[in-house]
Chains A and B, each alone.
Chain A
Amino acid sequence: MKILVPVKRVVDYNVKVRVKVDGTGVETAGVKMSMNPFDEIAVEEAVRLKEKGVATEIVAVSMGITACQETIRTALAMGADRGILVETDVELQPLAVAKLLKALVDKEAPGLVIMGKQAIDDDMNATGQMLAALLGWPQGTFASKLTIDGTTASVTREVDGGLETVALALPAVVTADLRLNEPRYASLPNIMKARKKSIETIKPADLGVDPAPRLTLVSVAEPAKRKAGVRVASVAELVAKLRTEAKVI
């Protein structure tokens, strides 16, 4: 079974992003970029399925500017077999990404797509569900456990009340939550090997998709800042302040 893993290049999770003074976006110049952490988990899961003999080939896909190649290289160093870059300068929103992925799935015919549940830049949490819809495939979102048994995927999902398990007829889309696994660090030899793996570059037009965004950014504002309050010296002082000053207990 072939597995397709979409990987997004995002501002590193350790960076505290700043809103541009003119309110047109956030400052990304000179900021450290990395693979979306949930996508690392997705790649790891695919690699483990290959190590178990369930998967035969892993294709990593990233969409966006040329630099997204780096993100694909990271996936290749973790164990993906080859990469596809869908190159465009257009800002891609989940609907466009889902359409582009659908076109790639039609070409590549994977048995499973594993992706992140959420990109930590746009915080949309939408693309996997949308891809599943466009393909008419079942979806297993927010996965904390995945087992493949013949033609069925069993997915344990993190839901508001705890955990839920669903059985999906393959092919299916699975989105990774934090507890699915702990992604490996790529070893130096594997990073070297990844340089020899192929990355194919195509354009949205080659896939017959119009990637134009449907949402326009009107403005970006800084959220209200919280001020650090006071230090209390004891538990008794804390409780007294909560009772008489804050009046919340």
Chain B
Amino acid sequence: MTALVLLEFDAAGIKQPSRSAVAAAAKLGEVHALVAGEGVAAAAAAAAKLPGVTKVLVADAPALAHALAEPMASLLVALAPAYSHLFAAATAVGKNVLPRVAALLDVQPVSDIAGVVDADQFVRPIYAGNALATVKSADAKKVITVRAASFDPVAAEGGSAAIENVAVAVADAGSRFVGAELSKSERPELTAARVVISGGRGMQAGENFRLLEPIADKLGAAVGASRAAVDAGFVPNDYQVGQTGKIVAPELYVAVGISGAIQHLAGMKDSKVIVAINKDEEAPIFQVADYGLVADLFTALPELAAELGKG
């Protein structure tokens, strides 16, 4: 029984959600990793260092440059016969590619798992995390995406896997990458940060998110947001935390001007410590907060920045 894990990477190495996917796969047995893209030698070398990975498959081709679902899926389908399980992190890429792979293999995928029971059984949240379902797959092969926040990532270094090139012949499947508009930030990625500070509709305007900056600087935090703040155009879509946005479980989550709708809680309620700052003492966010401060954020945030400065 060997699992193949599709990795995501950037210039800094293998992304943390992918390292969590490796950790989930390693619960079942041997793990091979797949690095696919164009000019991926450095990523392949980084993948070979992941503890628990015994072989790295490298597919280097222009058609794979942007991780489009159609070529990525045909690659994975070609590699699938050698594996009992195919894994990826439940990221935008994993969620785009793996269900396509599953359908081509006539498999019902198991999305966004939060636990591995055995080779056939997995735990996954349903209904915005209000219930945890244990499901058993009857398919011979499993196709799985992993909720990264639920598995401690393997370290970035320590292993020494063999690297093997795989030839790919990817047919044109009617999709073409046009361009990307990526948010630039010096901050840690939301799903990898030790501290996250998020703003909601209570922030009132995009420029007020600047009030979070000095605090995020002092705490080394990523900045997130509720759907309402994204819909209102205060911040870009990739800030959204929640059922249908990013799932985070940092050591510390600070919710500012966020009411605490079920869909938001779904994305952050597994954080170790939750702080809520809200002027409405009845706000549901206080029901999950370890520390609640009933205050106007426009006075509390500058005070918080100053207080942390005293550190």
Interface residues, chain A, CB within 8 Å of chain B? Answer: 11, 13, 16-19, 26, 38, 93-95, 98, 117-118, 120-134, 136-142, 144, 154, 157-169, 172, 177-179, 213-223, 226, 228-232, 234-236, 238-239, 241-242, 246, 248-249
B78 within 8 A of A: no
Q: Which among B48-56, B174-182, B200-208 touches the partner chain?
A: B174-182
Return 7 A-B CB contacts under 8 Å, by A number: A26-B131, A120-B243, A123-B127, A158-B237, A228-B289, A230-B291, A246-B291
Other 13 A-B pairs with CB < 8 A, given A214-B138, A215-B138: A18-B130, A95-B106, A126-B95, A133-B104, A139-B175, A165-B177, A177-B244, A226-B269, A232-B292, A235-B300, A242-B275, A242-B291, A249-B219
Report the nearest A residue to B15, measured CB to CB.
A160
A229 and B290 within 8 A (CB): yes
Q: Which among B20-28, B29-37, B57-65, B68-76 touches the partner chain?
A: B68-76
How near does chain A come to B62, taking the closest CB pair, in angstroms?
16
Chain A residues whose CB sits within 8 angstroms of the CB of B269 once the complex forms: 223, 226
Q: Which of B102, B129, B289 touches A130 (beta carbons < 8 Å)?
A: B102
Known contacts being A132-B100, A218-B135, is A162 close to B111, with CB within 8 Å?
no
In the assembly, what is the distance between CA of A77 and CA of B235, in Å? 34
Q: Which of A38, A132, A141, A230 touches B292 (beta carbons < 8 Å)?
A: A230
How near does chain A come to B65, taking the closest CB pair, in angstroms?
12
Known contacts being A93-B108, A166-B175, A216-B138, is A129 close to B291, with CB within 8 Å?
no
A129 and B96 within 8 A (CB): yes
B138 and A133 within 8 A (CB): no
Q: Which of B111, B262, B293 touches A235 (beta carbons < 8 Å)?
A: B293
Most buried by B among A117, A133, A137, A226: A133
B99 within 8 A of A: yes
Known contacts being A95-B107, A167-B175, is A129 close to B121, with CB within 8 Å?
no
B159 within 8 A of A: no
Interface residues, chain B, CB within 8 Å of chain A? Answer: 66, 68-70, 73, 91-93, 95-104, 106-112, 121, 124-139, 173-183, 191, 195, 219, 227, 230-231, 236-238, 243-244, 246, 251-252, 262-263, 269, 272-275, 286-295, 300, 303-304, 307-308, 311
Q: Which of B103, B134, B273 touches A95 (beta carbons < 8 Å)?
A: B103
Report the nearest A residue to B96, measured CB to CB.
A141
How near does chain B come to A34, taking the closest CB pair, in angstroms?
14
A158 and B92 within 8 A (CB): yes
Chain B residues whose CB sits within 8 angstroms of the CB of A11 once the complex forms: 127
B102 and A95 within 8 A (CB): yes
How near does chain A come to B69, taking the closest CB pair, in angstroms?
6
B128 and A138 within 8 A (CB): no
Chain B residues whose CB sits within 8 angstroms of the CB of A215 once the complex forms: 108, 110, 135-138
A141 and B175 within 8 A (CB): no
Chain A interface, >50% SS class: mixed
Contacts across chains A and B counted by CB atoms under 8 Å: 268
Known contacts being A138-B70, A214-B108, A220-B132, is A133 close to B126, with CB within 8 Å?
no
In the assembly, what is the distance between CA of A161 and CA of B99, in Å? 21
Report the nearest A residue to B303, measured CB to CB.
A235
How near does chain A come to B16, taking the closest CB pair, in angstroms?
11
Report the nearest A residue to B252, measured CB to CB.
A248
Known contacts being A139-B69, A226-B274, is A123 close to B111, with CB within 8 Å?
yes
Chain B residues whose CB sits within 8 angstroms of the CB of A213 once the complex forms: 108
How near does chain A come to B198, taking the closest CB pair, in angstroms?
16
Chain B residues whose CB sits within 8 angstroms of the CB of A249 once the complex forms: 195, 219, 252, 308, 311
B293 and A95 within 8 A (CB): no
Chain B residues whose CB sits within 8 angstroms of the CB of A136 once the complex forms: 173
B95 and A169 within 8 A (CB): no
A130 and B100 within 8 A (CB): yes
B135 and A123 within 8 A (CB): no
A228 and B175 within 8 A (CB): no
Most buried by B among A130, A161, A234: A161
Q: Which of A123, A142, A178, A221 touches B231 (beta carbons < 8 Å)?
A: A178
Chain A residues whose CB sits within 8 angstroms of the CB of B139 once the complex forms: 214
In the assembly, what is the distance between CA of A11 and CA of B128, in Å? 11
In the assembly, what is the distance between CA of A157 and CA of B93, in Å? 11
In the assembly, what is the distance between CA of A51 and CA of B269, in Å? 42
In the assembly, what is the distance between CA of A178 and CA of B102, in Å? 25
Report the nearest B residue to A129, measured CB to CB.
B99
A223 and B244 within 8 A (CB): no
Known contacts being A168-B175, A179-B230, is A121 close to B307, with CB within 8 Å?
no
How near does chain A come to B195, taking the closest CB pair, in angstroms?
7
Chain B residues whose CB sits within 8 angstroms of the CB of A124 once the complex forms: 99, 109, 111
